[in-house]
Structures are given as C-alpha cells and as structure tokens.
Amino acid sequence: MKTQKQHISKSHDVKASLPILKIENLKKTFGQNEVLKGFNLELYEGENLVIMGKSGSGKSVMIKCLIGLMEADSGYIEIMGHDLMALNRAELDELRTEVGFLFQGSALYDSMTVRENLEFPLRRHKHKFGIVDETTPLVEEALENVGLLDAINLMPAELSGGMKRRIALARTLILKPKIILYDEPTSGLDPITSKEIIELMRNIQKQYKTSSLIITHDVDCARVVAERMILLVDGINYAEGTFNDLAASKDKKIKAFFKQ
C-alpha cells in the first residue's frame, strides 16, 4: 500500500519511446531508517528528467544504487535494456562508458593539465577509443563544446570553480555517453556561473542528444532544464509532472519545493 497519494501529471508526452533507464520499486533501508520505499523512475531517450528531494530524502542512495556503488534491498534497475544486477564486473564497466556522471565532487586531477585530465578517461577505455596521443581531436572537441579550448594547457589550480565544473563536464562528454547523471550540478556556484552551467547542460542535450537525470535543489535549474520532474518524498515518487504543473500545485508538500 502506498503511504502517500501520488500526483501524476500526464500532460507532457515524452513517453513515445522505450525508457533508456528504468528503476522499479527500489527499496533501501539502513537499520530502522527506511530511505527508499519503492521508488520508480523511467528516463526516456533525449529527455532531461529532474529529481528533487529534501536533504536526506535518499537521492544519493538512489544514484549509488543506479551506478552499482550500493546494493539495493530489492527492486529492479535497467540501463539501456540491461538488468543492472545481473551484469558481471566487465559488463558493468562496459556499460559505464555509456553513462556519464557529473557529481559534486567530480574533482580534476590536480597534478595533470586540463588536456591530461581529459585524456585520462579515453586511456581507461582504450578498447573503445584506441591509442590516445596528442593528436586525438576528441579532447579539443570536448573543450570547444564547453567553451574552454583556451584552457587546454592550464593546471586545475589556475581555473575558477565554474571553469572546473565545465572541464569536469567536458571529461564526461568525451566518452560520448548516452546518459548523463548530474548530482547537484550548480551547487557551490554563484548565480551567474550557475546560469552558465545550466545553459551548457541544455546545449549539450541538444547537441549530443543525451538523456539526462538531474538531481538538484536549485529551482532555477529545474525550471530551465526539466522537461519532466519527480519529487522524491518519504521514499517514493510523491509527484511527477512538468515544472509548471508541479509549481502550480496546491499540495502543501509540493509547494514546499518551490519556495525559494
């Protein structure tokens, strides 16, 4: 039995294709703390789906289950048609090249130049990209796409917070992922830099046709990037719909998300 009434809006029709990522009835409990009580999610091709939840609501736990860093108690996770829990390590590694992450702590390697930071993931996935040397056009292409080609020979210490976030995004994009998971992409950035990152996320989706799952507290970010949103409350998807649908809701728990 569901503990909360579900508020589902069907006004936005992105569901014509098959989901590229699916979570069904995900449950995770720590001792007495029931964090996820049957969370569901479907991310469709080319879509930007935003998940909002209060601090401690289980967003990070959900992401960790999704990328295989934490084992759920029960539930089903499917990425690009693969049952995540049935994959062996090699298969999981292979699938990971299709899924890019931009996490709060997506730190760059301080002792490497920007170029070397970007070459690093290519070297890790040699089987997909071949031998990587200074002639690879992929590094310059990825930097160009985040507007930072000029920074190619700089060290991370020479970059601002916003530039570091852009370079981290370039490092994610270089693997040409089909799905990008963003965890608080604008946290710790000033409003202007946040806006630039949000704009970049939109452009990337258009250009690379990625599907993005974006976890954020930032209402402005959600307003601009979300084609659909899920509100995670009390361990379940309490409400789902477009930004405008949800922002117009009279439900107290939903309204709380949109107070700045």
Ligand X SMILES: Nc1ncnc2c1ncn2[C@@H]1O[C@H](COP(=O)(O)OP(=O)(O)OP(=O)(O)O)[C@@H](O)[C@H]1O
Among 23, 35, 65, 132, binds ligand X (CB under 6 A): 35
The count of residues interacting with ligand X (CB under 6 A) is: 11
Establish if 61 lies at the interface with ligand X (CB under 6 A). yes
Establish if 187 lies at the interface with ligand X (CB under 6 A). no
211, 116, 195, 194: which is closest to 155 by C-alpha? 116
Q: Are 95 and 20 in contact (CB under 8 A)?
A: no
Least spacing, CB of residue 153 vs ligand X, in Å: 35
SS3 40: strand
For residue 96, give every residue at least 6 positions away whose Cβ sits within 8 Å of its Cβ, in sequence order, or none. Answer: 67
Establish if 235 lies at the interface with ligand X (CB under 6 A). no
Among 19, 20, 57, 200, binds ligand X (CB under 6 A): 57
Binding segment for ligand X (CB under 6 A), chosen from 55-63, 82-90, 202-210, 249-257, is 55-63
Q: How far is CA 203 from CA 104, 133, 210, 222, in A?
A: 20, 28, 10, 15
Establish if 60 lies at the interface with ligand X (CB under 6 A). yes
Establish if 65 lies at the interface with ligand X (CB under 6 A). no
DSSP 132-168: --TT-HHHHHHHHHTT-GGGTT--GGGS-HHHHHHHH
CB atoms closer than 10 angstroms to residue 52? 25
Q: How far is CA 34 from CA 42, 128, 257, in A?
A: 22, 40, 22
Least spacing, CB of residue 207 vs ligand X, in Å: 29
Two structure tokens written together for 135: 């002639």
Establish if 30 lies at the interface with ligand X (CB under 6 A). yes
Establish if 157 lies at the interface with ligand X (CB under 6 A). no
Among 14, 21, 52, 59, binds ligand X (CB under 6 A): 59
Least spacing, CB of residue 40 vs ligand X, in Å: 17
Least spacing, CB of residue 61 vs ligand X, in Å: 4
Q: Which residues bind ligand X (CB under 6 A)?
A: 30, 33, 35, 53, 55-61
